[in-house]
């Protein structure tokens, strides 16, 4: 008998045909480690398990007389406006597959091998989406919850659980922290607000992001939720040791991850490779013995599964007669085809309202030209740069709802921000800014690390140790007029290391002449070539010697008056990465206009009067500003023509004692200088 509290399902990608499979890149789940901890620390779970086993044996002996068990279901789609925000149609397709699988209505039962055809069970379990929610309101049984908890999902991602003795909760997410396709709890093992199934969006249904064979993952997880073990018993590693699942009509097996339908390794008999509780991707059936075990779980009062199908609960959840469901008020929501655009670019707005069918809508797109204000998909464009908010009113005969998404679209200027040269060391100001904009809609992003830098104490960092492998995390950089630069060169400092030899994280520098419509790679390094430090598994924080300057030669033939740069990092399981001291220059009149010696501060430390002495090569147009260490500007000391040998005095007597920054800037080139107020 499998003594699991948690059961995790690791799946495999389908390559070509129905019976041709290869292992997915997902990690193994570590169920044994979970169980060791659970049974040491949760005696109630052990006790509930023993009680349920006793009840199951009694139920087998008494037999089952009920023909149909109806289970109310709610899907919680946890999303961040990505592909994990699956459609109602995909959920309903998953429900259709579940009902086919649990009632022997799936067409592929014809493929079941002869030894098991007569053992294939019609379980008599029907799943219905709830039409009344936990508060008595109208629902279609599918709710969409905006949250970054969809990434690296775990127990904390089980948001807004409905009562587990009234509904089967299914949480759909982008990815799961342990690398599984899905997992669940056996009856009586979970806290009520965690009882249910969490599963990847790509393993739900056969349409949209789903696939028919992967869709059986949900069938498998519900089998666990009904107290079924894997067919090979008490291990989450198939193919290792022959084992038993305590079901009389499933042969002893090691477990299978390939569809050798005549496979026999344990007792000289063909094993039930097509069972839904196997890991082979040719699932077709439950056995009659498994049916009896599941129905025992539905009749036991352990975890309240026996209340789900009661007449009173079916009435309370609106699943007693789904054909009479009320029309629900829609919950308005929408997405845009991009969050960045340039002046004049076309942007699509797509209605993603849920809970009720939308019969009418009104878009508020102030500042934009729109193809329509009432269609489910409209195209807009903007005449001026800026950050724009969009609203949608969606309704039907039951009522309407308004959704406002502030700062949804950033329209970028078609005029370059900087000419000739630019320096950014991230020592001053906030992030993101108009100069550096994260280009990823997820739970992780680049941020300012205020404790480490190459030339100062701040830099851009990306916490790659928490990232999703195979995902790109980009930063849109500034735009430049490089037409006057003879040889345009971009330099920056980078610090990165791997966690293991197999990490092939990639950093690229891309450029675009057409406002990001197309990008050209001008730099790229991967894995060990990108690394600037020795490999380590702990959190990487670079020392001064673990940085490297990179030089990117931009194409001198571009001659662009509006060149945008982009840093693009593709995660592959390595360690953190840092970027600092970005410098765009070339052979031009702006080069070396000033450096760390261009401004002297004295005395330093200082108490009342700070003196500034300029040592420039020539007079310049620029500014001198005073900042605190958080990047907050205290005041502008001077703006205009700065003489090459100017002397300036600044009263700082009213400042509190700490470190401050003086910034000298001209034509986009910045240099900072620190002093201490005592």
- The answer to whether the beta carbons of residues 320 and 391 sit under 8 Å apart is no
- Please tell me the distance from the alpha carbon of residue 391 to that of residue 400, in angstroms, as a whole number: 13
Supply the DSSP symbol for 494: E
Q: What angle do CA 488, 494, 497 make, to 5 degrees?
A: 145
Element (H, E) at 48: helix 43-62
Nearest to 482 by CA among 414, 558, 424: 558
- Please tell me the distance from the alpha carbon of residue 231 to that of residue 273, in angstroms, as a whole number: 9
Edge-to-edge strand order for the sheet containing 377-382?
334-336, 347-351, 377-382, 368-370
b/e map 561-600, b = 16+ CB within 10 Å: bbbbbbbbbbbbbbbbbbbbbbbbbbeeebeebbeeebbe
**Torsion, Cα of 317, 318, 319, 323 (10° steps):** -170
Is 221 labeled as catalytic in the residue annotation?
A: yes
Q: What angle do CA 431, 434, 439 make, to 5 degrees?
A: 70
Q: Which residues contact 175 (CB under 8 A, 6 or more apart)?
A: 150, 151, 152, 153, 200, 468
Q: Annotated catalytic residue: which of 84, 143, 221, 546?
A: 221
Element (H, E) at 392: strand 386-396
Q: Are strands 69-79 and 125-129 parallel, antiparallel or unpaired?
A: parallel
Instruction: Give Dmax over CA atoms of the chain in angstroms.
Output: 100
Angle of the 43-62 helix axis to the 31-41 helix axis, nearest 10: 100
Output the six-digit token pair for 266: 């344990």
Q: Are strands 142-146 and 69-79 parallel, antiparallel or unpaired?
A: parallel
Burial class for 14, CB neighbours closer than 10 Å (0-12, 13-18, 19+): middle
CA 61 to chain centre: 48
Tracing tokens 């280009």 back to the chain, one arrives at: 439
- The answer to whether the beta carbons of residues 13 and 217 sit under 8 Å apart is no
Query: CA of 504: how far to CAs of 80, 152, 176, 180, 462, in Å?
Result: 26, 20, 21, 22, 16
Alpha helix positions (H), 195-300: 216-225, 288-299
Output the six-digit token pair for 578: 């840092």
**Catalytic sites, residue numbers:** 221
């Amino acid at each position: 008998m499998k003594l699991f509290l948690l059961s995790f399902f690791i799946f495999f990608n389908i390559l070509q045909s129905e019976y041709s499979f290869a292992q997915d890149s997902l990690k193994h789940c570590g169920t044994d480690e979970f169980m060791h901890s659970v049974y040491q620390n949760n005696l109630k779970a052990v006790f509930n398990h023993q009680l349920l086993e006793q009840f199951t044996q009694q139920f087998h002996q008494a037999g089952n007389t009920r023909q149909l068990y109806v289970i109310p279901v709610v899907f919680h789609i946890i999303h961040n406006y990505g592909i994990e925000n699956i459609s109602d149609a995909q959920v309903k397709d998953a429900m259709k597959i579940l009902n086919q699988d649990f009632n022997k209505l799936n067409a592929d039962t014809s493929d079941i091998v002869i030894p098991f055809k007569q053992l294939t069970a019609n379980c008599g379990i029907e799943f219905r989406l709830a039409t009344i929610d936990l508060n008595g309101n109208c629902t279609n049984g599918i709710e969409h919850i905006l949250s970054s908890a969809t990434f690296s999902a775990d127990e904390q991602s089980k948001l807004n659980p409905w009562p587990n003795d009234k509904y089967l909760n299914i949480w759909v997410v982008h990815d799961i922290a342990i690398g599984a396709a899905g997992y669940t709890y056996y009856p009586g093992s979970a806290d009520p607000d965690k009882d249910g199934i969490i599963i990847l969006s790509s393993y739900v249904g056969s349409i949209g992001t789903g696939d028919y064979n992967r869709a059986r993952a949900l069938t498998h997880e519900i089998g666990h939720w009904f107290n079924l073990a894997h067919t090979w018993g008490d291990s989450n590693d198939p193919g290792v040791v022959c084992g038993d699942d305590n079901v009389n009509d499933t042969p002893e097996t090691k477990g299978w991850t390939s569809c050798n339908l005549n496979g026999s390794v344990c007792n000289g008999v063909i094993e039930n490779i097509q069972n839904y509780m196997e890991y082979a991707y040719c699932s077709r059936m439950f056995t009659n013995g498994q049916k009896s075990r599941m129905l025992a779980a539905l009749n036991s009062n352990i975890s309240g599964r026996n209340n789900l199908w009661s007449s009173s609960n079916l009435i309370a959840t609106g699943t007693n007669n789904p054909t009479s469901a009320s029309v629900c008020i829609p919950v308005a929501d929408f997405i845009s085809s991009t969050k960045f655009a340039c002046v004049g670019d076309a942007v699509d707005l797509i209605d993603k309202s849920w809970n009720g069918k939308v019969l009418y809508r009104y878009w508020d797109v102030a500042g934009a030209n729109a193809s329509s204000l009432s269609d489910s998909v409209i195209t807009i464009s903007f005449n001026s740069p800026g950050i724009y908010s969009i609203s949608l009113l969606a309704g039907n005969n039951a009522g309407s709802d308004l959704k406002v998404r502030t700062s949804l679209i950033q329209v970028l200027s078609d005029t370059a921000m900087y000419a000739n040269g630019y320096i950014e060391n991230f020592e001053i100001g906030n992030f993101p800014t108009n100069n550096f904009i994260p280009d990823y809609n997820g739970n992780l992003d680049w941020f300012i690390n205020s404790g480490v830098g190459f030339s100062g104490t701040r830099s851009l960092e990306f916490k790659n140790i928490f990232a999703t492998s195979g995902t790109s995390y980009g930063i849109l950089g500034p735009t430049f007029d490089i037409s006057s630069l003879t040889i345009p060169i971009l330099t920056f400092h980078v610090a990165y290391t791997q966690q293991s030899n197999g990490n092939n994280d990639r950093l690229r520098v891309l450029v675009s002449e057409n406002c990001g419509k197309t990008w050209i790679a001008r730099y790229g390094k991967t894995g060990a070539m990108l690394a600037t430090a020795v490999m380590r598994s702990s959190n990487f924080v670079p020392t001064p010697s673990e940085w490297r300057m990179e030089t990117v030669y931009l194409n001198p033939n571009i001659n662009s008056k509006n060149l945008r740069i982009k840093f693009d990092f593709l995660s592959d399981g390595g360690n953190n990465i840092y970027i600092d001291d970005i410098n765009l220059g070339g052979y031009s009149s702006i080069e070396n206009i000033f450096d760390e010696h261009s401004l002297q501060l004295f005395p330093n430390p200082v108490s009342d009067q700070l003196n500034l002495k300029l040592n420039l090569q020539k007079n310049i147009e620029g500014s001198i500003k005073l900042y605190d260490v958080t990047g907050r500007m205290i005041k502008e000391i001077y703006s205009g023509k700065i003489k090459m040998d100017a002397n300036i005095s600044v009263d700082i007597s009213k400042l509190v004692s700490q470190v401050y920054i003086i910034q000298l800037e001209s034509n986009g080139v910045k240099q900072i200088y620190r002093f201490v107020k005592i």
